[in-house]
Structure 1
Amino acid sequence: MTLRADADEPAERPRVPLSRRRVLRAAVELADRDGLDSLTMRRLAQEVGVEAMSLYHHVANKEAVLDGVVEVVLEEVMAAVDAVEAPLPERDWRAALRARILAAREVFLRHRWAPRVLETRTETSPAVIAYYDHVVAVLRAGGFTFDLAHRALHVLGSRALGFTQELFRPDGARPADAEAAAMMERMADRFPNIVGMLADAVHDDPEGTLGFCDDQFEFEFALDLILEGLERRRAAGA
């Protein structure tokens, strides 16, 4: 006699096979949720529901995981850049590149830990090279010589990927209002110009804090300055 399962009993969910791709996606999700420091081999194994030793069939060690999550994030960046709506570079290279950089920035804002990982890699990922190759293609289509495109990459730096170290906040921390006000008072005699600048910023935006900067506005402001300067050099034939 063949026994049949109770019709009301839920069917067992099929087990998703472990793969390098699945491990890396889980690593990205873990870092997004709990921060980069949570990304250990033990925690990652728990995340995918296996013993830690099983991970080593797919990633050699934690450094291999970090290399892999850079690949995953850069794949997201390339997909976002490919999907962006912007003028053809031949018609308006600045608008084309600006839109692509801001699309890349949106990806890195979803994965705020990723720049830290990217900057610690000892070898440049092919995915990073592919992205910068795309940037050079936009510049070339806009009339840049290879020499000026090379200089443009140096000027843009990590900003081409949509992130940069913020002034006064290398760890990304934003001081509380009371802490920032006390800091300004301590600095007033020694650094009057900086304190005057900060006080003016707070006066212009009284609802703001002495984090005082709208990071997105400041990023776009600096990006536009760079692109405008590069256009002047391009138009002058530099």
Structure 2
Amino acid sequence: MKQTNKREPLSRERILSAALDIVDREGLEAISMRRLGQALGVEAMSLYNHVPNKAAILDGLFETVLAEVPSAKRAGTWQVALRERAQALRKALRTHPNTLPLFATRAAVTPGAIAHVEAVLDTLRNAGFSPDEALSALQVLMAFVVGHSLSSYAPQPDDARSHPAYQQLNEKDFPRVHEIARVLDSHDVEKEFELGLEAMMTGLEANPARRKPARK
């Protein structure tokens, strides 16, 4: 009996999975409809039945990475809930460092991505933050997680890297820079991240807007 190989049907999920694989290996600049079509073994035009344009692919990549952040668990306090989500997001960004520019420049626009925004806002509102203060807290938290992850993990081409020669500076003029230069190689950026996250939780807890639980 003659066997036939059935090709997996094209879908938005399959396209986005292929797009993320390309970005992980080659970077965001490698994404195009033609490149995706080649990776999936289809004509580029057939992709438009599932994703209208490249912007939709980038928005979908944003959503796909966020999908690796676990759904919110019942936490004892809002601080614990926010800390766990921040740590989970950092882990997802560390896994897919080539997607970091998306999180630094794009908003959540798909329902799947907005669901994560909703979860954080709900945590803050139930903790007593006003809508405006909840928005500010969300924005600041995202800026910290994404910004610190960018500085820690964003890949750079070899010909774009700078290698500051701190040790060659005049120590009399830059004594503190010389001090930190001696510990740079052993500096733990994960502990640094946790220090910043803890400071942010302390600051949010002291926010005067957090007075009464939000009414449901």
TM range, smaller chain: 0.7 to 0.9
Q: Which amino acid aligns with 1:195?
A: V
User: Is residue 171–residue 178 contact of structure 2 (8 Å, CA) maintained in 1?
Assistant: no
Instruction: Please state how far the C-alpha of 1:70 moved relative to its aligned partner.
Output: 1.6
RMSD of aligned alpha carbons: 3.4
Provide the residue aligned with 1:61 in structure 2.
53
Residues 18 and 40 in structure 2, CA contact (< 8 A), matched pair in contact too: yes
Alpha-carbon distance in 1 for matches of 2:151, 2:9: 46
* Whole-Å separation in 2 of the counterparts to 1:105 and 1:167: 10
Query: TM-score, with normalisation over the residues of structure 1?
Result: 0.71
Question: Percent of aligned positions with the same letter in both sequences?
Answer: 36
Task: Name the residue aligned to 1:164.
Answer: 147
Please state how far the C-alpha of 1:16 moved relative to its aligned partner: 0.8
Name the SS for the 1:76 alignment partner.
coil
Specify the alignment match of 1:144 in structure 2.
Answer: 129
> Conserved in 2, the CA contact under 8 Å of 1:152 and 1:230?
yes
What secondary structure sits across from 2:20 in the alignment? helix
Equivalent of 2:188 in 214, 217, 220 = 214
Aligned 1:150-189 pairs, distance under 5 A: 150-159=135-144, 162-165=145-148, 172-173=155-156, 180=163, 183-188=165-170
3-state DSSP of counterpart to 2:97: coil
Per the alignment, residue 204 of structure 2 pairs with: 230
- Tell me: CA distance 1:38–1:167, structure 2 relative to 1, closer, same or farther (3 Å): closer
Q: Structure 2 stretches of 5 or more lacking a match?
A: none
Report the equivalent of 1:205. none
Deviation track 1:141-191 (CA, whole Å, cap 9, x = no partner) reads 3343445434423432433xx42246977955599xxx84x6113444696
Aligned residues: 208
Q: In the alignment, which of 8, 23, 43 is matched to residue 51 of structure 1?
A: 43
What secondary structure sits across from 1:219 in the alignment?
helix
User: Which amino acid in structure 1 is aligned with residue 109 of structure 2?
Assistant: S
Is the Cα contact below 8 Å between 1:24 and 1:72 reproduced in 2?
yes
Deviations 1:8-32 (A, max 9, x none): xxx4332111122211111111111
Q: 1:36 pairs with 28, 34, 44, which one?
A: 28
Distance 1:66 1:167 in 2: 18
Partner of 1:87: 75
For residues 67 and 216 of structure 1, what CA distance do their matches in structure 2 show? 28
Structure 1: unaligned runs, 5 residues or longer = 6-10, 203-207
Q: Which residue of the partner structure matches residue 9 of structure 2?
A: 17
